Amino acid sequence: MSAGEVKHAGLNLGATDEDAHEQAEPDVFGFWIFLMSDAVIFALLFAIYGTMLGATVGGPTAASAYKIGPTFAETLILLTSSFTFGMASIAMKHGATPRVLLGWLAATLILGVAFLGLELHDFATMTGDGAVPMRSGFLSSFFALVPLHGLHVLAGCLWLVVMMVQVPIFGLDARVKINLLRLGLFWHFLDIVWIAIFSVVYLQGLIR
């Protein structure tokens, strides 16, 4: 067993920290099991949304309720936050100063909060236009699927805050490093779910 071996999916600590790398294998595997069960929940909500596309009962339709501009902005923000988190992971792995690491984490947090702000503004506009979850099966399935992703992003933001406290207090020990690896997987996973949301929900609804 060499320390540089790939032990789990995701960024591996490898030879930069051999003890933490050994410990990361079971921890990260457990986290992948959680991510995949979460993926099943999202997939089934997508399936329900797919079956509810036509169930608008005369209320707002996808084409009238969605707007392409804010969706594109949200997509770019979340994608950029995935990149800044990747830079944070690399800073953590290769022993950058805590200031660099915290900087990348703060950038990710700001982008995550900006995403949530835009999304909430979208939902407020929709409900203001009468597109509320009670209106139709279509809107019920929309408000079950998309805000659930938003709640995940909110949880990720809270987790980011916790890590930005843990890094200065505990320093980069094995536990903090593995927590950051797991948060990275979670954050990148949410971006993959968002790809499905903007393609299946927003773009499909907006095609003329």
Contact by Cβ (8 Å): 77, 115 = yes
DSSP assignments along 105-151, one per residue: HHHHHHHHHHHHHHHHHHHHHHHHTT--TTT-HHHHHHHHHHHHHHH
Binding mask 62-101 for another protein (x = CB under 8 A): ------x--xx--xx--xx-xx--xx--x--xx-------
Name which position in 11, 65, 92, 160 contacts another protein (CB under 8 A).
Answer: 11
Residue 191 interacting with another protein (CB under 8 A): yes
Place of tokens 């933490």: 20
Contact by Cβ (8 Å): 42, 56 = no
Q: 174-196 and 137-170 are packed helices; what angle lies between their axes, rounded to 10 degrees? A: 160
For the chain, what's the residue count? 208
Residue 26 or 168: the one with the smaller Cβ distance to another protein is 26
Among the residue ranges 100-108, 111-119, 124-132, 195-203, the one whose residues contact another protein (CB under 8 A):
195-203
Residue 113 or 196: the one with the smaller Cβ distance to another protein is 196
Residue 9 interacting with another protein (CB under 8 A): yes
Place of tokens 């909060």: 113
Binding site for another protein (CB under 8 A): 6-12, 14-16, 28-29, 32-33, 36-37, 39-40, 43-44, 46-48, 50-51, 54, 68, 71-72, 75-76, 79-80, 82-83, 86-87, 90, 93-94, 185, 188-189, 191-192, 195-196, 198-200, 203-204, 206-208
